[in-house]
Structure 1
Amino acid sequence: METTAAAPYHSNQKLVIHLIRHAHGLHNLESERHRDPLKRIQYADPELSPLGWQQVREQRKDLSASGLLERIELVVTSPLTRTLQTSVGIFGSPLKDENTVGNGYQNGIKTPIFNHPPIIASELCRERLSKGRSRGSISQCRSRFPQVDFSLIEREDDILWEADERESDESVAAKGIKFIKWLLARKEKEIAVVSHGVFLQQTLIALKNEFDSSIEEEFLTPLVYLFGNCEIRSLKFFRESVVRLGQDYKKN
Structure 2
Amino acid sequence: MLLLPLCTAALGAVAGFLLATTRQRPRKYGRFESVASIQKNLRTDASKATVKVESAKQLQKLRSDGLLGKRWPVQMRCSNGAAKSGKLLHFIRHGQGSHNSMADFCVSMHINRADTYNFPDNFDAPLTEVGRQQAAQLQSYAKTTTPQLVAVSPMSRALMTANIAYGHLIGKVPFIAHDGCKERCNGHACDFRRSKDQQKLDFPNVDFQHVAPEDPCLTPSPHGETWAEATQRGYDFMLWLRDRPEKEIVVATHSGWLFGLFNVVLQCDDPKLKEWFYTGELRSVHVDFD
- Say whether 1:170 aligns with 2:228: yes
Q: With the length of structure 1 as denominator, give the TM-score of the two structures.
A: 0.72
Tell me by how many angstroms 1:206 deviates: 1.5
Tell me by how many angstroms 1:38 deviates: 7.0
Please name the residue that 2:238 is paired with: 180
Please name the residue that 2:104 is paired with: 32
In structure 2, give the amino acid aligned to 1:22.
Answer: H
Output the CA distance in 1 between the equivalents of 2:255 and 2:283: 12
Please name the residue that 1:157 is paired with: 214
Tell me by how many angstroms 1:134 deviates: 1.8
Q: Deviations over 1:49-81 (max 9, x none)?
A: 1110111111113322xx11xx11001100000
Output the CA distance in 1 between the equivalents of 2:222 and 2:196: 23
Output the CA distance in 2 between the equivalents of 1:85 and 1:232: 15
2:150 to 75, 82, 86: 75
Output the CA distance in 1 between the equivalents of 2:196 and 2:237: 21
Give the 5 Å matches for 1:173-252.
173-208=231-266, 211=267, 219-240=269-290
Partners of 2:170 and 2:205 within 8 A in 1: no
What percentage of aligned pairs have identical amino acids?
Answer: 27
Would the alpha carbon gap of residues 239 and 134 (structure 1) be closer, same or farther in structure 2, given more than 3 Å must change?
A: closer
User: Which is richer in helix?
Assistant: 2
Question: Which runs of 5 or more residues in structure 1 are unaligned?
Answer: 1-5, 94-112, 212-216, 241-252
Partners of 2:217 and 2:225 within 8 A in 1: no
DSSP 3-state at the match of 1:166: coil
Partners of 1:122 and 1:152 within 8 A in 2: yes
Q: With the length of structure 2 as denominator, give the TM-score of the two structures.
A: 0.63
Output the CA distance in 1 between the equivalents of 2:114 and 2:263: 31
Partners of 1:16 and 1:191 within 8 A in 2: yes
Partners of 2:147 and 2:250 within 8 A in 1: yes
Output the CA distance in 2 between the equivalents of 1:165 and 1:134: 10
Q: Deviations over 1:116-158 (max 9, x none)?
A: 42110000000012333321121211111111111122x3222
Would the alpha carbon gap of residues 18 and 164 (structure 1) be closer, same or farther in structure 2, given more than 3 Å must change?
A: same
Q: Deviations over 1:142-183 (max 9, x none)?
A: 111111111122x32224235665322222222111111111
In structure 2, give the amino acid aligned to 1:147.
Answer: N
Would the alpha carbon gap of residues 28 and 122 (structure 1) be closer, same or farther in structure 2, given more than 3 Å must change?
A: same
Q: How many residues align?
A: 200
Please name the residue that 1:147 is paired with: 205
In structure 2, give the amino acid aligned to 1:190.
Answer: E
Partners of 2:88 and 2:248 within 8 A in 1: yes
1:130 to 171, 186, 189: 186
Would the alpha carbon gap of residues 114 and 143 (structure 1) be closer, same or farther in structure 2, given more than 3 Å must change?
A: closer
Partners of 1:92 and 1:117 within 8 A in 2: no
In structure 2, give the amino acid aligned to 1:28.
Answer: N
In structure 1, give the amino acid aligned to 2:218.
Answer: W
Would the alpha carbon gap of residues 169 and 157 (structure 1) be closer, same or farther in structure 2, given more than 3 Å must change?
A: closer
Partners of 1:177 and 1:206 within 8 A in 2: no
* 43-52 or 172-181, which deviates more: 172-181
Partners of 1:92 and 1:147 within 8 A in 2: no
Please name the residue that 2:160 is paired with: 85
Would the alpha carbon gap of residues 235 and 142 (structure 1) be closer, same or farther in structure 2, given more than 3 Å must change?
A: same
Partners of 1:16 and 1:236 within 8 A in 2: yes
Would the alpha carbon gap of residues 45 and 203 (structure 1) be closer, same or farther in structure 2, given more than 3 Å must change?
A: same
- Say whether 1:49 aligns with 2:125: no
